[in-house]
Amino acid sequence: MQQLFVSGIGTEVGKTVVSAILVEALQADYWKPVQAGDLYHSDTDKIKAWTNKAGKFHPETYRLNTPASPHYAAKLDNIDIQLTDFHLPKTNNHLIVEGAGGLYVPLNNKDLIIDLIAHLGIPVVLVSRNYLGSINHTLLSIEALTRRNIPIAGLVFNGVPTPSTEQYILSYFDIPLIAHVDEIEEITSQKIQAQSLKFHSFFKKID
């Protein structure tokens, strides 16, 4: 079974949309380890609304009230996030795990999202989006994962295609391309399902 951690090169690059597409493509379970803010319209709620709900939605380990970095949101809630509190949900299905922000987002005074990924021990799907500086952010993210020997399942480029940027990134580190995700202005379950078809061929190759 595929167990994949969806992380991004930064915030607002489309991790939740890509997570929904992966859930749809694999008919997978979904787990968001830390939800900071938007507790009544969480990322789990969004994935439920955007997919056909074939898999199970596992509860967050931490639900924090403030939309901020987890370490700060936890401090405001008088909570001390511990890496040892995170355990992969037990399931016989594929599992998509969605992180918070980029790899170096802090969970507490010493642990980062990348430490959580290493703790869980599953491959990363890295989401990149084109903007000025995205090559730098993408290559730095790949290097950080590589230095820690964290496997990278592949890259997803989200938004308007930029062939020169994408070709440079893919050639520099020889990372597999999973798919391109189109710019989606108004997200619906039908659009998520349509995008999920692009992911099928990649996962068939690695089955």
Catalytic residues, by residue number, are 32
Bridge-based pairing of strands 177-181 and 152-158 is: parallel
Element (H, E) at 99: strand 95-102
**Residue with tokens 């970095």, as numbered in its chain:** 69
SS (HEC) of 154-169: EEEEECCCCHHHHHHH
Radius of gyration of the chain (CA): 16
Contact 106, 70 (CB under 8 A): yes
Q: How many CA atoms lie within 13 A of 85 on its CB side?
A: 12
Amino acid in position 142:
I
